[in-house]
Amino acid sequence: MDIIDKLISVARGKSRRGVAGIWLDEHKLVDAARKTRAAGFTKFEAITPFPLHDIDDAMGIPRSFIPWVTFIFGLTGFAFGTWFTWWASSVDWPINIGGKPMWSLPAFIPVMFECTILFGALSSVGALIAICGLPKVDPPVIDPDLSSHKFALWVPEDDTGYNAAKVEQLFRELGANEVKQAEF
Amino acid sequence: MIRRAPLVLGNKTYETITKDIASLLESFPGPGFFAGLAGAQFLLLIFLLAQGMIVWFGMGMMGVNSPVGWGTDIITFVFWIGIGHAGTLISAILFLFRQKWRTSIARSAEAMTVFAVMTAGLFPILHTGRPWLAYWLLPYPNQRGPLWVNFRSPLVWDVFAVSTYATVSAVFWYIGMVPDLATIRDRAQNKWRKRIYGALSLGWRGTARNWNHYEMVYMLLAGLSTPLVLSVHSIVSFDFAVATLPGWHTTIFPPYFVAGAIFSGFAMVVTLMAIIRELVPVFKDYITLDHMENMNKIIMATGLMVGYAYGSEFFIAWYSGVEYEQYIFLNRAFGPYGWSYWIMVTCNVIIPQLFWFKYVRRSIPLMFIISIFVNIGMWFERFVITITSLHRDFLPSSWGMWAPTIYDLGALFGSFGLFFTLFLIYIRLLPAISIAEVKPVLYVGRDGGNHGHH
């Protein structure tokens, strides 16, 4: 065990036990997700290699709130760009350039605009990383093919009404190609 | 009923898509790749040598002098920045327009953007002559007052525009790659491979809740990149248009520059995709002739816009009644640098007209040759704008000529070495086609698909 393995084991996050079902067809997975939700589970996860359009409805996932982050930080960037060009050019060290007014707003618009975009873009990505809990160090992977061509549902042991045998039974009834106990 | 053309050929499944795209990262490259890399690195060495000499001995090594103070560095900067714009157009603007065909070329086009902007960014820094003081371009607190940069200067706008563009493009590219890096991690057999791609993938696992936020951020970045890319080349054009020099001082410059940027950028995408299709035959199923034809149509459309701008410039010069303006345009076409003007017109306006023929639009060798001509033509467009306007302005007593030195040529040709070195290394180390984005469009245009509800 080398030093990197030690670092990984220190930095690794907590994982939970649970039951996973694996499907080969994404439409069956969406259907299974709908029925798993109807069975009363709320904390279960769907793991897919690419985004599925109907899964949000099936699992009751609300629309992402990240646009609000973008909006607020975009406005912040705009305000910063406006304030900084004004302060630097007409307060901190006013210099007469070409007889233009000290606060020559039209000339500052490019900088204000770029600040808006930069703040908006970086804050959106920052919000994504924070919400998804990234970076995750060596997270448990239920099946390596879940990033390629398989689709999974996973119910954690702390979900309401969890019973390993019952969940396994449910997934088999919903046509899972494979059902197993798995950490995630 | 008119059916959509399939976007992925060869009856792929999700599993074969993963295998096809990952195979490039999981096999040892062949001699063709190393030959290409050696060629690119040879040019890169020339770049380092030329720029090293210029930095060591000073700007006198280059052809710039009074009255032509902007030479190869500025021309080539605008050229490379323009190349980058097609990548953002494909990844962001076509995404917002729901053009599904963009998925298989978006990743490499974005990589092209990032590398082209990296290459471009070096030129104005080296053009300052004292690149170790490049941080003076930024408004940082300093001990001279602090003395701030002049926010009324287009050159400062350019610093903000290009650095924002470089940052946002790189982030957009990387975030788009995260799920694919997780795929590569999950396929890894080797411990180090798993660690490296695991770290690069940030531990992404593709849960539905994560995808929900991910798709939203992807759309937001596309929405932010779209005005950004239009602003960048507009601001680059302000570097010229805000000056009072005849030939530069025109209101048509921002749209003219943006159209030219997309024109040259798509030519570079066609060049690169034609090369990738040859290097990696399996990619022909993903980057199909339909993709290439679509890009050739965009080249033709933007080429016509550029041709219109050339005509419009002449008309406005005549219509303005300003004798300096009229002279500069006659001098452009018939003066001592007239040859460069006609190279530009031939490459950018005349040759792309061949794309009216469907046969030419779908012939890889012909489109490759035309795309090279467009690249040459677009470099000469910036040459024409920069050099011919500077070399003869108002007073005949201050007229002069400009000629490149061998260091100018080394910097220009060498920059292709930097770009192609980065690009060739990229296609072997990172997934060159978006694995997660191609899968949802797998069934577009396919027969008897019960999946066809996308």
Q: What's the CA gap between B292 and B101, in Å, rounded? A: 10
Instruction: Report the gap between the CA of A169 and the closest CA in chain B (Å).
Output: 22
Instruction: Report the gap between the CA of A175 and the closest CA in chain B (Å).
Output: 18
- Quote the tokens at residue B229: 């890319």
Nearest to B147 among A93, A138, A141 (CB): A93
Residues forming a β-bridge with A45: A154
Cross-chain Cβ contact A66/B217 below 8 Å: yes
Cross-chain Cβ contact B139/A27 below 8 Å: no
Q: Considering only alpha carbons, which residue of chain A is nearest residue B183?
A: A147
pLDDT of residue B99: 86
Q: Considering only alpha carbons, which residue of chain B is nearest residue A27?
A: B451
Q: Tell me the chain A residues in contact with residue B187 when contact means C-beta distances shorter than 8 Å.
A: 144, 148
Interface test with A, best of B15, B152, B189 (most A CBs within 10 A): B152
DSSP for residue B100: G
Instruction: Report the gap between the CA of B48 and the closest CA in chain A (Å).
Output: 31
Interface test with B, best of A147, A149, A177 (most B CBs within 10 A): A147
Contact between B374 and B303 under an 8 Å Cβ cutoff? The reply is: yes
Q: Tell me the chain A residues in contact with residue B231 when contact means C-beta distances shorter than 8 Å.
A: 110, 113-114, 117
pLDDT tens for chain A, 184 residues long, are 688 888 888 888 888 888 999 999 989 999 999 999 998 888 899 999 999 988 999 998 999 999 999 999 999 999 999 999 999 999 998 888 888 888 889 999 999 999 999 999 999 999 999 999 888 888 888 999 999 999 999 999 888 888 888 888 889 989 889 988 888 8
Nearest to A136 among B149, B164, B202 (CB): B202
- Alpha helices (H) along B128-252: 154-187, 191-200, 208-241
Q: What's the CA gap between B260 and B206, in Å, rounded? A: 39
Q: Tell me the chain A residues in contact with residue B441 when contact means C-beta distances shorter than 8 Å.
A: none
The residue among B336, B332, B337 whose CA lies nearest residue B318 is: B332
Q: Is A52 left (phi over 0), alpha (psi -120 to 50) or beta?
A: beta
The amino acid that residue B449 corresponds to is G
| Omega of the bond leading into A110 within 30 degrees of 0 (cis) | no
| Angle, vertex CA B432, rays to CA B218 and CA B119, nearest 5 | 85
The set of residues, in sequence order, having a beta carbon less than 8 Å from that of B332 and lying 6+ positions away, is: B247, B338, B341, B384, B388
Q: What Rg value do the Cα atoms of chain B yield, rounded?
A: 23
Cα B92 versus chain centre, distance: 14
Interface test with A, best of B12, B103, B210, B221 (most A CBs within 10 A): B210
Q: Considering only alpha carbons, which residue of chain A is nearest residue B231?
A: A110
The residue among B264, B236, B237 whose CA lies nearest residue B251 is: B237
Q: Tell me the chain A residues in contact with residue B172 when contact means C-beta distances shorter than 8 Å.
A: 121
Instruction: Report the gap between the CA of A46 and the closest CA in chain B (Å).
Output: 5
Cross-chain Cβ contact B151/A85 below 8 Å: yes
Q: Considering only alpha carbons, which residue of chain B is nearest residue A91?
A: B148
- Taking the whole predicted model, whether its pTM rises above 0.90 is answered as yes
DSSP for residue A175: T
Cross-chain Cβ contact B204/A134 below 8 Å: yes
- Quote the tokens at residue B425: 């290394």
Measured in degrees and rounded to the nearest 5, phi and psi for residue B71 equal -125, -135
Contact between B297 and B117 under an 8 Å Cβ cutoff? The reply is: no
The residue among B108, B232, B213 whose CA lies nearest residue B166 is: B232
Instruction: Report the gap between the CA of B37 and the closest CA in chain A (Å).
Output: 30
pLDDT of residue B454: 43
Contact between B50 and B414 under an 8 Å Cβ cutoff? The reply is: yes
Cross-chain Cβ contact B206/A48 below 8 Å: yes
Residues forming a β-bridge with A21: A153, A179
Q: What's the CA gap between B258 and B232, in Å, rounded? A: 9
DSSP for residue B207: B
Q: Tell me the chain B residues in contact with residue A148 when contact means C-beta distances shorter than 8 Å.
A: 14-15, 18, 183, 186-187, 435
Q: How many CB pairs under 8 A join A and B?
A: 197
ipTM of this complex prediction, to 2 decimal places: 0.94
Q: What Rg value do the Cα atoms of chain A yield, rounded?
A: 25
Cα A57 versus chain centre, distance: 17
pLDDT of residue B441: 86
Cross-chain Cβ contact A148/B227 below 8 Å: no
Residues forming a β-bridge with A20: A154, A180
pLDDT of residue B5: 81
Helix B208-241 vs helix B253-279: crossing angle, to nearest 10:
130
pLDDT in tens, B201-253: 999 999 999 999 999 999 999 999 999 999 999 999 999 999 999 999 999 99
Q: Considering only alpha carbons, which residue of chain B is nearest residue A67?
A: B220
- Quote the tokens at residue B385: 């704008």
Cross-chain Cβ contact B160/A110 below 8 Å: yes
Nearest to B139 among A49, A52, A88 (CB): A88
The residue among B179, B169, B119 whose CA lies nearest residue B430 is: B179
Instruction: Report the gap between the CA of B300 and the closest CA in chain A (Å).
Output: 31
Instruction: Report the gap between the CA of B211 and the closest CA in chain A (Å).
Output: 6
pLDDT by 10-residue block (mean), chain B, 454 residues: 78 89 88 92 96 93 92 94 90 88 90 95 93 92 89 93 95 94 92 92 92 94 94 94 91 92 93 90 90 93 94 93 92 94 95 94 94 95 94 91 95 96 94 91 69 46
Contact between A26 and A48 under an 8 Å Cβ cutoff? The reply is: yes
Within 13 Å and on the Cβ side, how many CA atoms surround A133? 14
Q: Considering only alpha carbons, which residue of chain A is nearest residue B202?
A: A135
Instruction: Report the gap between the CA of B303 and the closest CA in chain A (Å).
Output: 27
Contact between B440 and A51 under an 8 Å Cβ cutoff? The reply is: yes
The residue among B424, B420, B425, B409 whose CA lies nearest residue B51 is: B409
